[in-house]
Structure 1
Amino acid sequence: MFLKSKIGLFKKSLFLCLFLIMGSFAVGQNFDLAGFGYTGMVPCPYFIEFQKGNKIEISWYNANQKRVKKLYTYKKKYIGRFPLFELDADIPEGLYAGLNPESKNYYGNKFMLLTGLVKKAWKENEDDIIGLGMLPAHKGKKAEGFFTRFPSGGSGETPYFYYENVSSHLVEKSKEGKREYKIENLCDMREDTPWVEGVDGWGIGESFVIKTWNNNDDKYILLMNGYISASNPKLYDENGRIKKIMVEGVISGKKKEFTVKDTPHPQTVDIGFLPEQEDVKITILDVYKGTKYEDTAIHFMILWRTEVIPYE
């Protein structure tokens, strides 16, 4: 579990050769995944293409280096806020060719997935999708992340972001030892790695600075709200999520208040009001209160160059 009461890696890149499928929340999706796809080369080449009618085609190279294709149909359920997709057949063993034998612990047909539509994404003239896929706990094992399509920097080329002047972070003590939810977690897409404020109450007034990079043109903040865990999805609602934030340019002093959506899917905040690229200070003004813990968490937050629409 988690947090100031009592509670208690992304292990290998082996699950990158799996796939991302995504549907909509009950309120209806605001973009269609059909026609979008995901590709990857490590640890095994694969291509995923979404199709109409809740269908998805997956192709990969098996142990004999022969390309194999399979068409799946899926249906969607929910675990808390997280869509859970159930395929009409298990993932075939051939997809795991040459991977760590532990991957067999996760054979199955169910996946939790979060995604967003990136406007004018990679080629600057067409939309694309980004996302985080998670395997729910299976056969007594800890849940795992298996798919991430997020560059670690706003341009997709920088290795990581820097943060400074954070006002607090949560340090959690348990029988297993000490765990810190540090500000550096904000550029770590693995599940169960949020930044969590460390003061009494909901963290109103807590702040930090996101450092910019030279020659970037980032006009957005890309974030995933709350505590995201495939092992324990209810932690999203049990803990606080940011609702209103103040964004302030460290050099210009210009500031603006924003309302953040209460969704675990990736979303952006438009900071084009700043006159130039500069370090950005984030201050929590209000939160969506958790049902169990007085802790506010942010899973991911970096500077970004284009709009992302959450899939819900």
Structure 2
Amino acid sequence: MKLHITLITMILTTNLFCQELKTIIPIEGETFDFGIEVQNDWKKRDQLLEDLANEKKSWDNLTEEENELFEKYDETYESMWDVEGGGCSWYCGAGEYSVTTSSELSSNGKLDYKAKNLTDFSYQTAWVEGKKGYGIGEFINFSFAPTHPRVTTIIFANGYVKSEKAWKDNSRVHKLKMLINNEPYAIIELKDIYSKQIIELEKPLGNSDRKDFDKLKEKDNWNIKFEILSIYKGDKYDDTAISEIYFDGLDVHCLAKGTLITMSDRTLKKIEDLKVGDEILSYNKETGEYESSIIKELASQIHKDLINIEFSNGIQLTCTKDHPFLAKNLSWTSMNPKKTERDYEINDVIQLKVRTKVRNLKSELEVVKITEIKEEQITYTIVDLSKNKTFVANGIITGIEKLRVPTMYKNNSGLIAKTKVK
């Protein structure tokens, strides 16, 4: 009787505790499809990339079917298993974080189920808990450096998603308790669907005071922890699997909505209206000449803590603090030089301040005022151009996102691509 009462008390206490936490139900994202038809399409795409690399084909003469293949299967992705492509995303400037788990299922000799699989940006692998039974109480912990950009979105690939059979055979998570810095934050109720599941957080997670980067580095790491509360039973295995957990957020580089970009014909176009294939004006630092350059990739992001820069001709420009501008002496300048150097991997960035002189279309302008903006705004940037690494925003020469020099690797078709930040 005493044991029975104790168990009831434990259940009631757990229920009361869970009721105090808000429940978050994710938004359903893209449905997974790694079937035969998709595999064949990827083979065609890879062959097409190889033909382009060997100059058997030209980007200018692709058929409608070939263009549709690249629209469907982005050429910046190395394979169909990639979670993120080689193009720009939050991870371009987000830096590294670590993941640990309370247990891992032992390798079967061919495959492993380690914690690292949660952050390898591949849908082909999965973390599987190693506890006997369904893994109730097992946890995943993500640790972030104090300077790490803030998180606003969490994306789950729940279950072993490499195939529908593997997904059904293995158990999937039903409910997770989410903790921030080991303090209970919410109950996440995942659906039993073969799709990505996305959580948009009410407030960003991470350090919001980012004015003094050196002081920020002295703070402790912060963490996000997920504890398994309940599961959906697998058809064949008790083991509970999660293929991937990744993030999106703030504090990487971009320009505010409404920024006017100078096109190759000297007309102006709002940055949010730009499209891949548009021809813009670009400055060649080596020759000192303006040249036409074609946009190959664009990106947008929500940001907080922007700055508004006012120049001596009355023009204003709103951007992130680490966005680089071309100074009078052709050096790069920004409000946060250390972060610009780290994220873009360019050297000798100088401090942008009142009286700094920057390059514009005609000669140079002087910064007369810098104002901080606290509210969130959607921002935009040009990621890649057919030539040069510059464009003209509100008349000021600025740098594209791809100024950072990525680590390189060769994929199966011999093409050079960016490594993803993990």
TM-score by length of 2: 0.38
Pick the structure with more helix per residue: 2
TM-score by length of 1: 0.50
Of structures 1 and 2, the larger Rg is shown by: 2
Greater RCO, CA 8 A, separation 6+: 1
